[in-house]
Amino acid sequence: NPGKNSYHPLKDSTWKMGENVPYMALAKTLELIEETSSRLKMIEILANYFRSVFLLSPNDLLCSVYLCLNQLAPAYIGLELGVGEGIIIKAIAQATGRTADKVKADVSAKGDVGLVAEASKSTQRTLSMFRPAILTVNSVFTKLTEVAVMTGNSSQTKKVDKIHGLLVAAKQLEARFIARSLAGKLRIGLAEQSLLQALAFAASATPPNQPSPPTQLNCFQGLSTEAIKAKVETAAVILKTAYCQCPSYDRIIPVLLREGIAALPLHCTLTPGVPLKPMLACPTRGVGEVLQKFESTKFTCEWKYDGERAQIHLLENGEVRIYSRNQENNTSKYPDIISRFQSWIAPSASVRSAIIDSEAVAWDTEKKTILPFQILSTRKRKDAVEADIKVQVCVFAFDLLFINGESLVEMPLIERRQKLWNSFHRVGGQFDFATSRDPQSIEEIEEFLDESLKGNCEGLMVKGLVKDATYEIAKRSKNWLKLKKDYLEGVGDTIDAVVIGGYLGRGKRTGLYGGFLLACYDENNEDYQSLCKIGTGFSDEDFQTHSDFLKNHIIQKPKPYYRFDQTLSPDHWFEPVQVWEIKCADLSISPVHRAAVGIIDPVKGISLRFPRFIRIRPDKNPENATSAEQIADLYKSQDQIKNRKIEEEEEG
């Protein structure tokens, strides 16, 4: 199909100004993106699509953005799109006149329900004399939402009917993406960061209230690669900043359409009820490094609690909500926190609205001590009833980001902390402030670290107090350092890796996986890079659990965005769906693994030596796994330590 690569919605589609966007325009855009591996090219394709929507059908921009992300609403609303594969198979069979068994066999052979839906449409017998109406982005979005909200006894049949209707109306390519949307993954390798860049660029190239539509078709026309990069970055900074503070396209898109990208900082700021992406910490390998970093600036050390991050929002209407590290709504998991929250406000304070950053930790009410994370993870994840709760939690607050209509994120920690202390008060076993101390010497830090470990914490968080002390939303910042007990054992931190492949076990592990291929995530290239093989640290039960879970995520071929050496090819490849916490002895340059390739060595990657499984990280998405840059940093800091040791030995 020679014209395919040059498809442009404004030029090549019959879609007219004021009409709804034909779904085919989006499907063709997604297809082009799927076929390219260059990130800049993906951004260009998507920016051109968004620009067309800005110009012709601005009312469809919001649903276009959601469909590209395979979402129906902001992530924190928790409206899941995925339906079971069985339902999609049934609907494909009904819509195309094939048998469900045949469709099912094709899906297992191809490993992609989208391609099967597309192929089934191409061989479809004509079942109706009437041509169904053209699908639009808006109508598909509406139908998918209707499918997602259906619950109850007969919902399965109703879902099949709805999907059947969509697939009957769909053309081949449309069927591919509708089926994939329903299965929960578009499989086009487009990360949200790229979408934000494309949207930013399209918005700045198409400002609102222009007298007549610009004639230039392509956002990037006539620009050099360097110029494109620079322009994309500049526009993206504004949009990404707004998105960090207010991660809701429901709020951002209307501002883009009404007033343009420059107005975002005015309208899309911190809002109680809209969870923000939290600030994260960098690992350190020792107390010496801490003192080096904060050499001439004031810093504070806090206990690093091992529970679950809880962003607690008090809305103006008195409602209290709790969001996780990944902005999921955890409110129904913690009815106990909700019912107690008002009693934590200091009697002398007037608090109408607030956002607190804290850790919810399992609490032994008899011994009045902190319990390990594993105990907390036994709590019901949703719709808990307060009277049935067996594991009590205590909230340890460490930051205040918003109070009474005012955002505090630009203030230094010393002031935020004071406001936190003034506005709330300790309630034994329910609410406390993170234990903190502002030590001066190595000895004092070591002593406090020791105390934190005795108090059942993971170690310390070390934070700038006055200088370099703002709350950096969504950032893993060097102004927050974590000092964990693990640093004593070697690497400075555990590593969170994504499972991308499995090796079949032998002997007593026949029928299960006996080893796995792990990867880190490279945010810049948006790919998964192999990091190590792992077969240690698992109990028999772990092997069984992992095998049961992962066999539902097998794919026939590795993703185009998996980086690995052929010699490591596993027996089965998996979708990137789960993150594991791993310990290792050290990191070394590897001729076969690809982690952080190009950062430390131009062609070689880094791998973990003697990796050991610790636990699953259900609170992390694959894209939150340890990044290639973090792996390179861990490798480098280990090198500095080694070099320092050698120097000391030589001097000594």
Q: How far is CA 542 from the centre of its chain?
A: 25
Rounded to a whole number of angstroms, the minimum distance from the CB of residue 454 to ligand ATP is 16
Q: Which is nearer to ligand ATP, 106 or 359 (CB)?
A: 359
Binding ligand ATP (rule: CB under 6 A), the pick from 398, 424, 521, 573 is 398
DSSP lists the bridge partners of residue 534 as: 516
Alpha-carbon distances of 510 from 439, 440, 507, 514, 550, rounded to whole Å: 54, 56, 6, 8, 15
For position 416 contacting ligand ATP by CB under 6 A, the verdict is no
Piece in contact with ligand ATP (CB under 6 A), picked from 139-147, 303-311, 328-336, 342-350: 303-311
Other CB atoms within 10 A of residue 628 CB? 29
Rounded to a whole number of angstroms, the minimum distance from the CB of residue 303 to ligand ATP is 6
For position 417 contacting ligand ATP by CB under 6 A, the verdict is no
Q: Which is nearer to ligand ATP, 309 or 604 (CB)?
A: 309
What residues contact residue 17 under an 8 Å CB cut-off, 6+ apart?
Answer: 55, 56, 57, 213
HSE, CB side, 13 Å, CA atoms: give it for residue 643: 6
First to last CA, the chain: 71
Rounded to a whole number of angstroms, the minimum distance from the CB of residue 619 to ligand ATP is 7
Piece in contact with ligand ATP (CB under 6 A), picked from 95-103, 212-220, 229-237, 304-312: 304-312
Rounded to a whole number of angstroms, the minimum distance from the CB of residue 434 to ligand ATP is 4
The vertex-14 CA angle with 12 and 20, nearest 5°, equals 120
Alpha-carbon distances of 479 from 429, 468, 483, 591, rounded to whole Å: 30, 6, 13, 34
For position 461 contacting ligand ATP by CB under 6 A, the verdict is yes
Element (H, E) at 517: strand 513-522
Secondary structure of residue 238 in the 3-state scheme: helix
Match 């003192």 to its residue by tokens. 291
Binding ligand ATP (rule: CB under 6 A), the pick from 281, 495, 555, 606 is 281
Binding ligand ATP (rule: CB under 6 A), the pick from 289, 359, 527, 575 is 359
Number of residues located near ligand ATP, criterion CB under 6 A: 13
Q: Which is nearer to ligand ATP, 288 or 455 (CB)?
A: 455
**What is the per-residue binding string for ligand ATP in 489-528, x denoting contact by CB under 6 A?**
-----x----------------------------------
Binding ligand ATP (rule: CB under 6 A), the pick from 280, 389, 453, 614 is 280
DSSP lists the bridge partners of residue 61 as: none
Alpha-carbon distances of 203 from 27, 52, 64, 225, 463, rounded to whole Å: 21, 11, 14, 19, 37
Residue 457, both tokens: 């914490």
Residue 4, both tokens: 């395919």
For position 325 contacting ligand ATP by CB under 6 A, the verdict is yes
For position 583 contacting ligand ATP by CB under 6 A, the verdict is no
Whether 11 is a known active-site residue: answer no
Rounded to a whole number of angstroms, the minimum distance from the CB of residue 364 to ligand ATP is 18
Binding ligand ATP (rule: CB under 6 A), the pick from 304, 333, 563, 593 is 304
Q: Which is nearer to ligand ATP, 35 or 415 (CB)?
A: 415
Rounded to a whole number of angstroms, the minimum distance from the CB of residue 461 to ligand ATP is 4
Rounded to a whole number of angstroms, the minimum distance from the CB of residue 436 to ligand ATP is 8
Rounded CA separation 363/359 (Å): 12
Do the Cβ atoms of 495 and 626 come closer than 8 Å? yes
Q: Which 420-459 residues touch ligand ATP, going by CB under 6 A?
A: 434
Axis crossing angle, helix 192-205 with helix 61-69, rounded to the nearest 10: 160
Catalytic residue among 304, 333, 482, 620: 304
CA dihedral angle for residue 201, residue 205, residue 209, residue 210, rounded to 10 degrees: -170
Q: Which is nearer to ligand ATP, 195 or 301 (CB)?
A: 301
For position 371 contacting ligand ATP by CB under 6 A, the verdict is no
CB neighbour burial string for 362-373, b if at least 16 within 10 angstroms, e if fewer: bbeeeeeebbeb
For position 302 contacting ligand ATP by CB under 6 A, the verdict is yes
For position 87 contacting ligand ATP by CB under 6 A, the verdict is no
For position 309 contacting ligand ATP by CB under 6 A, the verdict is yes
Q: Which is nearer to ligand ATP, 51 or 325 (CB)?
A: 325
Q: Which is nearer to ligand ATP, 102 or 277 (CB)?
A: 277
Secondary structure of residue 433 in the 3-state scheme: strand
Give catalytic residues, as residue numbers. Answer: 304
Residues forming the site for ligand ATP (CB under 6 A) = 280-281, 302, 304-305, 309, 325, 359, 398, 434, 461, 482, 494
